[in-house]
Structure 1
């Protein structure tokens, strides 16, 4: 596979002309005018990309070849101010939720210093240094723009495919000659307020982590009662103060007592971490209190990573469901939350709600529930075998493959159902599993949003009860938001559609983006930083993937140039 890639890249390099009109200004920013740089460029042009690592070959093909192999980061044998600025920026990659070690920062300093003594005969060192720095900057730009992992791009359309041509040109136009690249770097990132808030929260947490150690709350805190005076309350006080939920540096005597302010702060901590709000240190609360700041920073970093997989712009304000938070939000054109409600998502295990991006195209009032075949065979068929009246009592119909409704009391129709030759659907009404409204956004998982007759489940803290679709707490409010721009669909008409038992489908004139996302650490619109349980284990999977990417990059960076 790699040989085929390099062969294709070599053909591309050979076929590439020098810079076209659109690239002339960008190429002009690259050096290559002094004799040493020209010699290094000639050396670079003579290299055989088939003997290099894939990253170096790509850099030469898409970055250097279009500009006549001019060097980018050195002039007269000395590193440029822009090069040093980029090294500083990549060295602070953790502030963006990235990893400095992904960009070779452990050895850039000595290599940069080694290039700062102009001398004849150092063309090879200059060229290799320049290319390796370009590889690092290309990774950095790509990681900020597209994310590192892009796990879901093929199946869900959840991510834009990384474009190395865009990356190379962006570097030439915005970074090669910039001594202050922060604005150009920020322009690569999503501009959503939620992303910016989360990045800011990460920076605050990293500052705190670097300045003080985690306070550990001991197990004895689980026995704390209001009014207890004990040294255990001091640890709880200090830990809650680290989270900004209590003032720091209070009188020692007040620290010793588990009083009402501490209890309120503890209840607030539970609320911000998706826990049952009791104001007591139970087992789960103690576990969450003692999660290290380093782990919390990793959660925020992974949320930023997943945000980069999203489109940077939407044709209409989106509806976003954050799965581990069990919450839906709808936004206005400025990215502000205009609607928020609880949701129920798929059960952890085999019925998980998928991560995806899809356009909502239709709203259906009083929908039929066409039972998926897997649910029909695993859940409904055993109930029908035990109770032949089950279908009729729960408003189910048996439907033939041709769409004809069969008599559910017929033994023959039930045989077809049990063998999978006929399907089951539930008619609209009080018992219908989809409630009064269904929100359709076609996707490969056949996931959608809908109401539910089981409204008591919204009182639960952890709400992973569905078969994979999303049950919404207030479908009528969501319908009003979705249909707000549809001609004639006023609040009164929506109320009438809900009251009328007829099934009505409304096609949206302009589809609305729906995003099913996964973030266990976020900075909410009210400024609070919230953390949630990794209900599907996706953070653990992503951490493994990111570690593998880092190891792969480090291994590639230490490979020989393959030249004598």
Structure 2
């Protein structure tokens, strides 16, 4: 796995709309590093953690084992710990600027408030401040090496503190929860004694540093650790040098610029922020229909009259002439009468869907749209998920959005190709991760995954061991030698089969005429398919997990930087492989709210119910943080 460069462009929300319209990004991370120094440790060649070993499950009733799919976990957020200030309160007074003493930072030069800080830390003895363990550790390490105020000058919070508090207070504009970063700010003047005032200020100092570090972490990496949620999520860590953040903030007056630069800086993130702001200022839909409604002819639902009202309100002359009378008579009916079926079919076909007459989530969405509450949730989820990806998504890139069932090739801010895709079934979900495209295989072999061999082929092989030979598959043993399928005693094996199976190139090959590889532990790639009819369906979660392309030749030409004619010529010459020589990140992504390149946010069904699980993880994080002082 390669982690692509983290280019950043900082700008206020007021100009975010311009970003969402495709304004070219400035390559600014180097500028930030020059201005602000540390804070982020880049790891451009980071690797994913090793894949978990498959878990064999016994099949009830005897007859071998089964390889299970990844599972979802009950999310456990980091527990807060009380910050132990003992190391600070027992430290000696700061030495002269020319004679720094350990454990102080060798570069530390105490300011005029240095002695005041040393006097003030005595007031931390009984202070109960709770923070994440890594933040608590960073606080003590930083202030042990740099015993001075960041946020206080003389006897009051300084302008640096004012800027930080304002940024924390605007957290909601990023889809964050402001309460997670709340700090009580001391009044400008206090009738308390000098000692009490110092105690008040040093506690404010520590609280603000703790919450600023939490904010910086959340802005860079998100509030939730995605890999703890499910085995379907696979993201490298984004290390953050907590002490470096505080050191940077102690030496700059550009606090707002620095903190805002920790957020993703791509146009998609800015467009989602603009959408969130617009949604929060808008009114709720007048008619709200259950987005998960499923209604077949002959069934009843109180949601049906709402849909019929929306249909009647938007009738054109043609539909009004055909169905106006039916809607007038049955518009209040909760029973899905057979007379209403042609109405629903006509509405579905007009929306570009298959007119099957079954009222489901896509029919509801086409008529009622998505409710404001659902849109807000989807946008907040998308903002959280974007923290898991590189700040600069890269160009060129391939972006697969599973809920939209689409894959796009984007170069220089233009969508050069967009094609329909088929993704994994709910029982064989496509993972959410990113990688780099490496090669295109023409007339490929299909190496059958062990899960398919065990779960789907093995039951048949026990009764018909030769069927792989007849169906055009090759079987090889652990030494790579070909053996006839009929010669293997398949009944002797469960989840651990010491044979590999691959399908030879042919018109019947499951991968069709080509595949596009980005090697990953999930064995997911893009490929052609002989099952072309699947692309005509609205709901295309139908595969074993890989991504099937409606236009595989177009995508292969795009990533190879060549033409469709070139790809067609390559296909005339049998099996071959061609390396992709450019750096092209590929995002196998999952966003139920996503902006197009013009900044218009589109909404999609939560096919795998992952938004719900992410909201549960965010709730678990809030529950841990809420008692924090």
TM-score normalised by the chain length of structure 1:
0.76
Aligned partners of 1:449 and 1:9: how far apart in 2?
56
Report the alpha carbon displacement of residue 513 of structure 1 after superposing the two structures with TM.
1.7
Shift of residue 392 of structure 1?
A: 4.3
Per-residue deviation at 1:64?
3.5
Change (3 A) 1:152 1:318: farther
Structure 1 residues 342 and 18 mapped into 2: Cα distance closer, same or farther (>3 Å)? same
Partner of 1:539: 611
Aligned-pair distance for 1:476? Answer: 1.0
Q: Distance in 1 between matches of 2:370 and 2:611?
A: 15
**Which of 185, 199, 202 is the equivalent residue of 1:112?**
185
Distance 1:204 1:477 in 2: 37
1:462 counterpart residue number: 539
Distance 1:417 1:146 in 2: 47
Secondary structure of 1:505's aligned partner: strand
Q: Distance in 2 between matches of 1:75 and 1:214?
A: 53
Distance 1:439 1:185, change over 3 A: same
Kindly state the Cα deviation for residue 514 of structure 1 after the two structures are TM-superposed. Answer: 1.8
1:138 correspondence with 2:210:
no
Aligned length: 493
Q: 1:364 to 1:304 in 2, by over 3 A?
A: same
Query: Per the alignment, in what secondary structure is the counterpart of residue 263 of structure 2?
Result: coil
**Structure 2 SS opposite 1:337:** strand
CA contact (8 A) 1:158 1:310 kept: no
* Aligned mates of 1:438, 1:417 — CA distance in 2: 33
Out of 381-390 and 46-55, give the one that drifted further: 46-55
2-side partners of 1:537 and 1:89: how far apart? 33
Following TM superposition, by how much is the alpha carbon of 1:529 offset from its aligned partner in structure 2, in angstroms? 2.0
Residue 389 of structure 2 corresponds to which residue in structure 1? 310
1:303 shift after superposition:
0.8
Aligned counterpart, 2:268: 194
Paired residues of 2:526 and 2:548 also in contact (CA < 8 A) = yes
Tell me by how many angstroms 1:267 deviates: 8.4
Query: How many Å separate the matches in 1 of 2:277 and 2:130?
Result: 34
Match of 2:305 in 1: 220
Q: Name the CA distance, whole Å, in 1 between partners of 2:357 and 2:280.
A: 28
Flag the structure with higher helix content: 1
SS of equivalent residue, structure 1 residue 152: helix
Structure 2 distance, partners of 1:527, 1:313, is 16
2:104 matched to which residue of 1? 17
Q: Structure 2 unaligned runs (5+)? A: 1-77, 92-101, 290-302, 313-318, 333-342
Distance, in Å, in 1 between the alignment partners of 2:267 and 2:141 is 33
**After the TM superposition, which residues 237-256 of structure 1 pair with which residues of structure 2 at under 5 Å, given as runs?**
none
State the Cα distance separating 1:314 from its structure 2 match.
5.8
Contact kept, 8 Å, 1:345 with 1:470, in 2: the verdict is yes
Task: Name structure 1 gaps, 5 residues minimum.
Answer: 236-259, 559-564
Of 68, 73, 88, the residue aligned with 2:147 is 68
Q: How far apart are the structure 2 equivalents of 1:202 and 1:161?
A: 28
1:434 aligns with 2:508: no
CA RMSD of aligned residues (A): 4.0
Question: Is this contact kept in 2: 1:214–1:292, CA < 8 A?
Answer: no
Q: Secondary structure at the match of 2:539?
A: coil
2:621 to 533, 549, 562: 549
Normalising by the residue count of structure 2, what TM-score does the alignment of the two structures yield? 0.68
Task: Give the alignment of 1:339-350 within 5 angstroms.
Answer: 339-349=417-427
Q: Could you tell me whether the CA contact under 8 Å between 2:87 and 2:144 is conserved in 1?
A: no
